[in-house]
Amino acid sequence: MFTRFFEGIQSDLLLMLLAALVCALFRALFIKCYAPEKSRHDWHRIRGCFNYGFWWGMDFNAYVFLFLMVLVSMPAGIFPDYYAIADKIRVGSVLAYLTVIYIASFGNMIFYYHFHDVFNATVRLGGNADKNNLADIFFNQNRGGWILAGFIPYWGVMGYIAYALCQIPKIPYPVAFDNLWLQYGANFVVFVMAVVLFYWLRYGGTLNHRDKPEWDEVPAYVKQDEFLGKMTLDALVAFELAWKHKISDSLQHTDEEAKEIMGKVFPANVDWQRPWDSFKRTAKGAKITKPRKIFLLFGESHGQAPFDSLYSKLNLMEGSQKFRKDPHTLTIDNFLPGGMISAPSLASILSGMYDTDLELNENVSFWRGTTPLSMAYQLHKLGYHTGFWYGGALNWGSLEHFVPTTGFDEYHGGPDICAKDAPRTWLGVYDHLFLDAAAEKIEQSPAERYEFHFLYTTSNHGPYNMPYDEYGADLDRIMPDAPDELKADKHTRRKMQGIWYADQALCKFIDRMRETYPDALFIVTGDHTTGLIPFEFHVTGRDEPSLREQVLTSFAMYHCELSSDMLAGNIIGGHLQILPTLMELLAPAGHEYYSLFSSLTESIDHVVTPYCWLTRDTVGDYRSKVRQSLQVSEKTLPLEHEISFADEHAAWCEFSGYLVKHPELLIPRQEINPALAN
């Protein structure tokens, strides 16, 4: 009986090692597909990456051994009939686990393609994403059909190898005693040793769980390479860490803890029933004539990187570059979004407080109330009729509930204002059609009325399968000096066309509104950035983005009376400084408003968001705990493992969590907008 058990656990151990080998092969594929050139040939670090990754992967893979030992080898040692089919059960079980590894590993690579990171807390926000759009991206941008087809040979090869491992002759049971009790004792010792072996594997080659592999213990020489450091995480390990990561620690804190954290940054004597009163500000007096119309264009993935001189030959922002040449257009080339993906970024800029991945737009409390920090609410008090325009349907992100509560008088989705047969992606109506329809509606409003319009586009988004050639996106004209192989690659070509097209649509809308409303004020920014530069085609001297290229969105502002001195020489800024800037430019002296941050009309030495920080010469990331020079450089710049403004970062995150925990403090929506009373 115990001989069969001993034979079985050897098969179990071999199948566990097969799972570890498959993880290593996926790690190698990941490195081959995405590693920067400097990482691909650093064999010393690669060996360290695979070694540490093997042991860290045992956090999951060791359970293959335990599962098979308990559910297959133990009963097979007792029941002969079960023993007869034990290998088939082993093969089926390990194939199921290898299928999970396959899905997780390709999912991790696809996530990296879009976010330039392995699985992180952003995956927790995917529950409210448009599933049709995700499917469209998977099949049309990430070769999902080939990935699914790959299951067939994968199952065949893995099934054959797994069965062959089970058939390999095993070491016979070496312990035999004539005395029955001694035999039982020896068997018990072997069983205990098998259990101890599981724990030794599970804890990464140690029996002390405190010494098990984790991020802080990745060898320093491996972690010095940011990419290879992340490659020490198998896909399942990365997913587990991302899923276990709290979206915001602030929700776990008591009120006393929260007040202590915020107190390091907030002014003294805070009224915690109205904490925003600590950020009441008084306008110093208008700097320009109050415009009848204000347009804030929130462009999907309208990032800073294509504006950098390194990528001028790509000419992706041809429309915006023309717009920026006007002497009355002011720009800031180092600008942080409120969020790293769409919904948190939008929720932040509209609410005037950082979303911190709390999904404020999906929180029922923020459908029923808001704070005086909200953008539309404050512009309404300044005398503006406020309108929100989104290229997609307003049920995305529950915008039909969230947007009006932030103070907008009217709100429209692209499918509602465009023709029923207007072409659209899963996210929304094509940008130029959506913006044309919005322009027509706006032009029908009273010309003398003061209006603020927030317009959010959707088209600059994967899988980039629109008919760009029909809309003038001729890459041979747009980027004649770009590498030929870039223009010949179907997927990259479409992406470059999509970026150019979306920027053109924004700027054509601006041109139309400027002609109709010569005194209008325009702000152009992006909800966030994404991988806009095709580094794989050697468009610059490196093959990976700098930190600034990964996180900075765009910012430009135009009004016929703006002059270069009005932004106080600032070269850095962020989304939550747009509202106070408008107030200081337009509001009469003595007008009171609320803002967590100062206006861009005042000198700024740093910007802090829940994700990143800026100084005048560096950019940092709180998620990866690194910082890098803001310099636009053809060469790879060194990363420093250090964070700044930790107290301020914690305070802004805590503030959002505090209000989520205390919805009774919010201003009821009927007080914000009487039309919503019912």
How would residue 246 be classed by pLDDT, with cut points 50, 70 and 90?
low
Please provide the size of the chain in residues.
678
Predicted confidence at residue 674, as pLDDT, reads 66
**Percentage of the chain modeled with pLDDT above 90:** 83
Does residue 128 register a pLDDT over 80?
no
Q: Is 217 left (phi over 0), alpha (psi -120 to 50) or beta?
A: alpha
Q: How far apart are CA 672 and CA 405, in angstroms?
A: 7
- Under 8 Å CB-to-CB from 188, ≥6 apart: which residues? none
Q: What is the mean pLDDT of the chain?
A: 94
Q: Tell me the pLDDT tens digit for each residue of 438-481.
A: 999 999 999 999 999 999 999 999 999 999 999 999 999 999 99
Of the candidates 16, 25, 18, the one whose C-alpha atom is nearest the C-alpha of residue 201 is 16
Q: Tell me the pLDDT tens digit for each residue of 279-295.
A: 999 999 999 999 999 99
Q: Tell me the pLDDT tens digit for each residue of 256-283.
A: 999 999 999 998 889 999 999 999 999 9
Q: Is 642 left (phi over 0), alpha (psi -120 to 50) or beta?
A: beta
Q: Could you say which DSSP state residue 545 is in?
A: -
Contact present, 353 and 651 (Cβ < 8 Å): no
Does residue 395 register a pLDDT over 70?
yes
Predicted confidence at residue 676, as pLDDT, reads 60
Q: Tell me the pLDDT tens digit for each residue of 512-542.
A: 999 999 999 999 999 999 999 999 999 999 9
Q: Tell me the pLDDT tens digit for each residue of 538-562.
A: 999 999 999 999 999 999 999 999 9
DSSP-assigned letters across all residues of 595-622 = -SS--TTS--SEEE-SSEEEESSEEEET
Contact present, 411 and 388 (Cβ < 8 Å): yes
Amino acid at 50: F
Q: What is the pTM of this model?
A: 0.86
5-18: average pLDDT: 96
* Unique residue bearing structure tokens 């003294």: 268
How would residue 182 be classed by pLDDT, with cut points 50, 70 and 90?
confident
Q: In a 10 Å sphere around its CB, with 0-12 CB exposed, 13-18 middle and 19+ buried, how is residue 421 labelled? A: exposed
Q: Tell me the pLDDT tens digit for each residue of 190-212.
A: 899 999 999 999 999 999 888 88
Dihedral over alpha carbons 389, 419, 126, 27 (to 10 degrees): -120
Beta strands in 546-605, from DSSP E residues, in sequence order: 555-558, 573-574, 592-594
User: Is 336 strand, coil or helix?
Assistant: strand
Looking at domain 294-672, its CATH architecture is 3-Layer(aba) Sandwich (3.40)
| Count of CB atoms situated within 10 Å of the CB of 467 | 11
Sequence ranges of the domains in the chain: 2-244, 294-672
